């Protein structure tokens, strides 16, 4: 397809087409599988975890004293979320062991220190943070998933899942959280009659841990394309979390919103995106989507009220920017989920795009919410990276995909500008993590392709540009971004050789990861977009 005239007209066109070609080739390969690995994990030394070096005790004691008089930050919130009542005593068990301490205590202490160092250590002391990371990643990589069912073991698994989410290891987070979920269910944390002999405080602790497990389990359905492990029909305890302490009201409001949101995300997967859902008639899927969209709008109103109350209270306390990730990012996640719901509703016949108006409008709203949110995190590199992991990757940011498809179909220049703003907002994260570097590169490449496609189509009356526009169309159709012109029943067949509807194939491609551009984050993308950047 390539010709000398194509390069002569504009080398950027050739580079963009080369990138699309590389993306197509990647999809034919197997993704990188990390398994339970973390980047800093080490082999266990003789004698086990107890032989690993700990951060200096004098530094730890100083920070533990300072948090008692400082404004609450992420560390304080983690102690609430995971029902950790005496972190100082756990530290004493590790630093001054009069008897053997459990692997769970070691994990809880090092994860706690990791987040404590992130917030309070002055720059230039990263070695302490690094030591805590090595310890916790080594411990998590060697964790025994068949540990006894105890509160400490469940806390360690949940904190491990929380950390794995922060460093964008979703499969590892799912494994750890699933182990915690099985423990919670074996111990009857989800059954009312199992709490009869508990004190009110013990019952509250069990409920907090169970519902945190539930939230993570449900929230990861869409990202991993898996049904949740915990079934709602087996739960009969109240859907509420009773926290104790100064922050109990704010945290209770936030977790109630998260609880409903996670349950809702799981139902979106089950009713619209699961294999069983995709086998239903298109009209039934669209009707389900309309009902879910209506519920999502109601949730948006309620979540906004809870979020505004929590933010106002937290701002008065001058909490750490790290807390903002988990409060303000909720709006981005909800709008992203709403965009995904509307994707299942076809546009009216005769529309210039496959994407209905509600879907593209919600995608725009979600992108604007993201831009506002990430702008508030510009001065904190870790907060920015953690926000990207949690709100753009772990919950796949469907609006970017929708905007790109809409631009390709309609050549909408305002949406192109919005797409480019999104891409620009996450640039500069190359050194933060492997995942953010890949995401930044792919977004830049995709937004460049969109800009060049619009340019090529706008000048298609020129013969050379017509050839380029046609080549763009070929690649974009094969990648699933454009409808195939001649889509016959024989073109799409399922595993049982039965015809697959175009609508079903489109959504199935989104979920499978082979066409879902977020799935490319599991591949080696080092060769994509490796050329000198020129202003668009």
Which runs of consecutive H residues, i.e. helices, occur in 343-433? 357-375, 381-388, 398-410, 413-425
Q: In three state form, how does the secondary structure of 266-300 look?
A: HHHHHHHHCHHHHCCCHHHHHHHHHHHHHHHHHHH
Tokens describing residue 136: 């916790």
Select from 107, 188, 118 the least CA-distant residue to 152.
107
Buried b (16+ CB within 10 A) or exposed e, 401-440: bbbbbbbbbbbbeebbebbbebbebbeebeebbebbbbbb
| pLDDT for the residue 494 | 46
CB 387 within 8 A of CB 370: no
- The pTM is what? 0.83
Angstrom distance (rounded) from CA 231 to CA 382 = 35
Encode the chain (536 residues) as per-residue pLDDT tens digits.
Answer: 444 444 455 677 777 777 777 776 766 665 555 455 677 888 888 888 889 999 999 999 999 988 877 766 778 878 888 888 899 999 999 999 988 899 999 999 999 999 899 888 876 678 899 999 999 999 999 998 888 999 999 999 999 999 998 887 888 899 999 999 999 999 999 998 887 778 888 888 999 999 999 999 998 888 788 889 999 999 999 988 887 766 666 667 777 888 888 889 999 999 998 999 989 999 999 999 999 999 999 999 888 887 777 777 777 766 666 666 667 788 898 999 999 999 999 999 888 888 999 999 999 999 999 999 898 888 777 778 888 888 888 777 889 989 988 998 899 999 999 999 999 999 876 566 777 888 888 888 889 888 988 887 777 655 555 555 566 666 666 665 655 444 434 444 444 444 445 555 555 554 444 345 666 666 667 667 665 444 44
Using the structure block, give the residue that is written with the tokens 């109990």. Answer: 248
| pLDDT for the residue 264 | 92
Q: Where along the chain do its domains lie? A: 1-30+373-484+499-536
CB 372 within 8 A of CB 423: no
Angstrom distance (rounded) from CA 211 to CA 239 = 8
Rounded to 5 degrees, φ, ψ at 229 are: -80, -35
CB 285 within 8 A of CB 344: yes
Residues 6+ apart with CB under 8 A from 310: 250, 253, 254, 327
CB 266 within 8 A of CB 218: yes
3-class SS shares of the chain: helix, strand, coil, % to 5: 70, 0, 30
Angstrom distance (rounded) from CA 419 to CA 305 = 29
Tokens describing residue 467: 């050839």
The whole-angstrom distance between residue 245's C-alpha and the CA centroid of its chain comes to 30
CB 155 within 8 A of CB 109: no
The whole-angstrom distance between residue 520's C-alpha and the CA centroid of its chain comes to 14
């Amino acid at each position: 397809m390539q010709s000398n005239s194509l390069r002569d007209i504009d080398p950027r066109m050739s580079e963009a087409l080369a990138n699309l070609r590389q993306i197509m080739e990647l999809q034919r390969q197997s993704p990188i599988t990390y398994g339970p690995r973390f980047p800093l994990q080490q082999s266990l030394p003789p004698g086990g975890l107890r032989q690993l070096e700990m951060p200096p005790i004098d530094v730890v004691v100083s920070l533990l004293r300072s948090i008692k008089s400082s404004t609450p930050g992420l560390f304080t919130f983690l102690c609430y979320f995971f029902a950790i009542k005496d972190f100082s005593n756990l530290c004493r068990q590790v630093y001054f062991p009069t008897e053997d301490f459990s692997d769970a205590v070691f994990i809880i202490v090092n994860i706690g220190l990791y987040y404590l160092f992130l917030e309070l250590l002055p720059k230039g002391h990263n070695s302490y943070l690094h030591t805590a990371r090595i310890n916790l990643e080594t411990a998590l990589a060697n964790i025994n998933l068949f540990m006894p069912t105890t509160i400490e073991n469940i806390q360690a698994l949940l904190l491990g899942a929380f950390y794995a989410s922060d460093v964008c290891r979703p499969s590892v987070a799912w494994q750890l959280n699933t182990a915690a979920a099985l423990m919670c269910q074996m111990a009857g944390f989800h059954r009312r009659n199992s709490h009869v002999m508990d004190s009110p405080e013990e019952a509250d602790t069990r409920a907090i841990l169970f519902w945190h497990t539930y939230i993570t389990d449900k929230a990861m359905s869409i990202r991993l394309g898996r049904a949740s492990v915990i079934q709602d029909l087996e739960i009969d305890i109240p859907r509420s979390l009773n926290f104790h302490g100064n922050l109990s009201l704010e945290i209770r409001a936030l977790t109630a919103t998260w609880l409903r949101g996670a349950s809702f995300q799981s139902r979106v997967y089950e009713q619209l995106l699961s294999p069983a859902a995709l086998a239903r008639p298109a009209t039934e899927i669209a009707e389900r989507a309309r009902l879910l969209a209506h519920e999502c709008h109601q949730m948006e109103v309620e979540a906004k009220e809870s979020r505004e109350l929590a933010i106002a209270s937290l701002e008065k306390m001058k909490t750490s920017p790290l807390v903002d990730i988990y409060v303000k990012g909720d709006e981005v996640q909800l709008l992203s989920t709403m965009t995904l719901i509307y994707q299942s509703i076809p546009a009216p016949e005769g529309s210039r795009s496959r994407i209905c108006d509600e879907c593209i409008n919600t995608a725009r709203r979600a992108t604007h919410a993201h831009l506002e949110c990430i702008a508030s995190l510009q001065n904190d590199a870790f907060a920015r990276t953690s926000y990207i992991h949690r709100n753009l990757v772990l919950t796949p940011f469907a609006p970017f995909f929708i905007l790109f498809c809409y631009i390709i179909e309609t050549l909408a220049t305002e949406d192109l500008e919005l797409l480019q703003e999104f891409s620009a907002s996450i640039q500069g994260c190359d050194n933060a993590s492997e995942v953010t570097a890949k995401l930044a590169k792919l977004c830049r490449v995709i937004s460049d392709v969109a800009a060049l496609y619009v340019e090529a189509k706008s000048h298609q009356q020129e013969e050379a540009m017509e050839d380029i526009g046609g080549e763009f169309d070929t690649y974009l159709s094969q990648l699933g971004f454009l409808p195939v012109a001649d889509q016959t029943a024989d073109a799409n067949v399922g595993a049982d050789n039965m015809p697959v509807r175009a609508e079903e194939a489109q959504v199935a491609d989104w979920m499978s990861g082979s066409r879902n551009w977020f799935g490319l984050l599991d591949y080696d993308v080092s060769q994509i977009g490796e050329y000198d950047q020129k202003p668009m």
